[in-house]
């Protein structure tokens, strides 16, 4: 079965071709237009998707050496995401499937991240996944294909959002996760003790707004910001220590909650997914803790951590194999829930 996957939920325009679960092409265009605004501007994202979508889909088909007449189905992200951005890929996918008279399936973006590890590894069920991206932080238990149970999620900022906001405070640019990761590698993670928010009652929910605020107060109290709490002036080595200490606090919480859930739900397989799963400390710490408990750990290669069409094609392929298709009437849903 040859599937075209389309992803336009945020600021990556991506299309991929998947043949019987094997990636034949995965073209990703990251929109650079947002960097100067320090975050994604929805209207600019939609317009950029519109400009890029035909070219990206064409490139994906050409690279895969697949003619559109030979596609067996089309999958596109239905949500969650920016509604105007989602609409571009979703409408494009629907129109193409209508023209070609082949099945169409709308895919939950989080479901795409959830199964992204299986693009290169054999699936093992049940498994537990920590999905950490710019918009979401969740722990999901997957009993069998497409049977998901949300164990916990963030109550405020997503992990990636916290990285991006702290990077902005530190004057590091957007998106800031990878920049913090790189600076942290040369810093001392014990230099500053930022709070770890575990929340009460052993919940698997997360909260990252507290740590973000404590970084802000730390900068203010140490005279590193101007009167408007902006324009940071931080000595380079100290900047590295702040990055390392902040990153360690976030990773501590992510790792300990995932491990606690793995023990409670008695799973042997865990996976990481989403943009923040590219984080080097998160990967190292997870690997160490998984080994201690004899758990098998998967994480995607960087290309599949970020938003990409291949993961959407994969989740769509799974749905089509289960006989699940969507009508052409399905709407784009900004806060689509994982079911
Ligand atoms: O999954 P993704 O590409 O898009 C969403 O669905 O949100 O995730 C993007 C997020 C951004 O917040 C970015 O700062 C973060 O992933 N990120 C990282 C790293 N690389 C990307 N965060 C921490 N460490 C990294 N190495
Ligand atoms: Zn994502």
**pLDDT confidence of residue 250:** 98
- 3-class secondary structure, 165: helix
**pLDDT confidence of residue 7:** 98
For 93, 125, 137, the CA distances from 275, given in Å and listed in that order, are 24, 23, 11
Query: Could you tell which of 163, 180, 253, 334 is best to mutate to test the pocket of ligand 1, judged by most ligand atoms within 8 Å of the CB?
Result: 163
Query: Could you tell which of 26, 160, 249, 286 is best to mutate to test the pocket of ligand 1, judged by most ligand atoms within 8 Å of the CB?
Result: 160
Query: Could you tell which of 77, 114, 168, 276 is best to mutate to test the pocket of ligand 1, judged by most ligand atoms within 8 Å of the CB?
Result: 276
Ligand 1 site residues, Cβ closer than 6 angstroms: 10, 133-135, 160, 163-164, 175-178, 181, 274-276, 278-279, 306-307
**pLDDT confidence of residue 68:** 98
Query: pLDDT per position in the chain (339 positions), as tens?
Result: 999 999 999 999 999 999 999 999 999 999 888 888 888 899 999 999 999 999 999 999 999 999 999 999 999 999 999 999 999 999 999 999 999 999 999 999 999 999 999 999 999 999 999 999 999 999 999 999 999 999 999 999 999 999 999 999 999 988 899 999 999 999 999 999 999 999 888 899 999 999 999 999 999 999 999 988 888 999 999 999 999 999 999 999 999 999 999 999 999 999 999 999 999 999 999 999 999 999 999 999 999 999 999 999 999 999 999 999 999 999 999 999 998
Q: What share of the chain is helix, strand, coil (3-state, %, to 5)?
A: 45, 20, 35
What is the position in ligand 1's atom list of the atom closest to the CA of 176? Answer: 14
Q: Which long-range CB contacts under 8 A does 221-230 form with residues at least 24 apart?
A: 225/169
**Ligand (nearest to CA of 109):** 2
> Which residue has its alpha carbon closest to ligand 1 atom 22?
177
DSSP notation for 172-203: --SS-HHHHHHHHTTS-TTSS-PPP---GGG-
What is the position in ligand 1's atom list of the atom closest to the CA of 161? Answer: 12
Q: Using omega within 30 degrees of 0 as the cis cutoff, is the peptide bond preceding 175 cis?
A: yes
């Amino acid at each position: 079965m040859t599937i075209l996957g389309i992803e336009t939920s945020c600021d990556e325009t991506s299309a991929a071709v998947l043949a019987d679960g094997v990636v034949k092409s995965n073209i990703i265009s990251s929109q650079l237009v947002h960097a100067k605004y320090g975050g994604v501007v929805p209207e600019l994202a939609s317009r950029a998707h519109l400009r890029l979508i035909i070219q990206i889909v064409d490139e994906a088909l050409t690279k895969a050496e697949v003619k559109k007449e030979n596609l067996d189905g089309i999958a596109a992200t239905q949500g969650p995401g920016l509604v105007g951005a989602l609409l571009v890929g979703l409408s494009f996918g629907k129109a193409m499937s209508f023209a070609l008279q082949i099945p169409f399936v709308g895919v939950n973006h989080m479901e795409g991240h959830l199964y992204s590890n299986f693009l290169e590894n054999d699936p093992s069920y049940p498994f537990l996944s920590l999905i950490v991206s710019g918009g979401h932080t969740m722990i999901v238990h997957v009993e069998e294909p497409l049977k998901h149970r949300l164990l916990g999620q963030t109550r405020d900022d997503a992990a990636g959002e916290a990285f991006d906001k702290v990077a902005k405070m530190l004057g590091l640019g957007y998106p800031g996760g990878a920049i913090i990761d790189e600076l942290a590698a040369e810093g001392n993670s014990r230099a500053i003790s930022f709070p770890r928010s575990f929340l009460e009652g052993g919940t698997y929910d997360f909260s990252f707004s507290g740590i973000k605020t404590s970084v802000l107060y730390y900068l203010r109290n140490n005279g590193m910001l101007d009167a408007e709490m902006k324009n940071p002036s931080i000595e380079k080595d100290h900047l590295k220590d702040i990055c390392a200490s902040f990153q360690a606090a976030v990773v501590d919480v992510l790792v300990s909650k995932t491990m606690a859930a793995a023990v409670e739900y008695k799973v042997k397989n865990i996976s990481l997914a989403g943009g923040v799963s590219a984080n080097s400390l998160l990967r190292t710490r997870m690997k160490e803790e998984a080994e201690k408990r004899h758990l098998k750990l998967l994480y995607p290669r960087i290309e599949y951590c970020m938003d990409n069409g291949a993961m959407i094609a994969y989740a769509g392929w799974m749905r089509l194999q289960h006989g699940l298709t969507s009508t052409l009437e399905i709407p784009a849903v900004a806060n689509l829930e994982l079911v």
